[in-house]
Amino acid sequence: MEYYNYIKSLHLIFVVTWFAGLFYIPRLFINHIEAHAKPSPEKEILTTQLKLMTKRLWYIITWPSAVLCILFAVWLLLLMPGWLQQAWMHLKLGFVFLLLLYHLKSHQIFKQLQGDDVKYTSNFMRIWNEVTTIILFAVVFLVVLKDTFNWIYGVVGIITLGILLMLGIRLYKRIRDKNPKA
C-alpha cells in the first residue's frame, strides 16, 4: 500500500497523456481530410507532413499512454479489489471500454488515412472528436462523486453536454461555410 499514491499518480499522468492524444488525433484527421481535397502540389506537401505528425502522435504518445494507463489501472484494482464491488466502478469501466473501442476505431481511421483512403468527412471527424469529451466528463464525475453521484442528474448532464457539443459543431460549420478562412 505504500506505493499506492505513486501508482495512482502514474495512472493519472497516463490518463492525461492518453486523452491528449485522443483529443488531438481527430484534429489531425480533419486537416488530413481537408488537405486531400486541395490541388497539387499543396495536397502532397500537406498530406505527407500530416501523415508524419499523426504517426508520431499515435505511436509515440497515444498508444504508449493507453497501454501504461491501463497497466497502472489494473495495478490499482489489484491493490483495491473492493472497488470492483462498487457500482460506480462498473460504470467507469464501461466508459473505459467505450474509450478503448473509440481508440481502436481511431486506429482504423489512422491506418486508412496513412494509406490515403479517405472514408470520412471533416464534419464527421469534428463530431467524432467530441466522443472523448463526453467520456472524459462521465469518468471524472464518476470517480470524484462515486456513490454520491446522482444518476438522474448525471445522465441528464451527459445528454445536455452532448447536445451542446453538437450545437457548437453546427454553429462552427455555419460560420466556416460563410467565411471559409475561419
pLDDT score, position 152: 66
Structural domain harbouring 72: 4-178
The rounded distance, in Å, linking the Cα atoms of 58 and 56 is 6
Tens-place pLDDT, residues 58-107: 999 999 999 999 999 999 999 999 999 988 899 899 999 999 999 999 99
* Model confidence, pTM: 0.85
Q: Name the percent of the chain lying above pLDDT 70.
A: 95
- Whether residue 113 contacts residue 51, with contact meaning beta carbons closer than 8 Å, is answered with yes
Amino acid at 159: I
32 labelled ligand-binding: no
pLDDT for the residue numbered 87: 84
**pLDDT tens-digit readout, 31-44:** 999 999 999 999 99
Ligand-binding site membership of 11 (annotated):
yes
Q: How many domains does the chain have?
A: 1
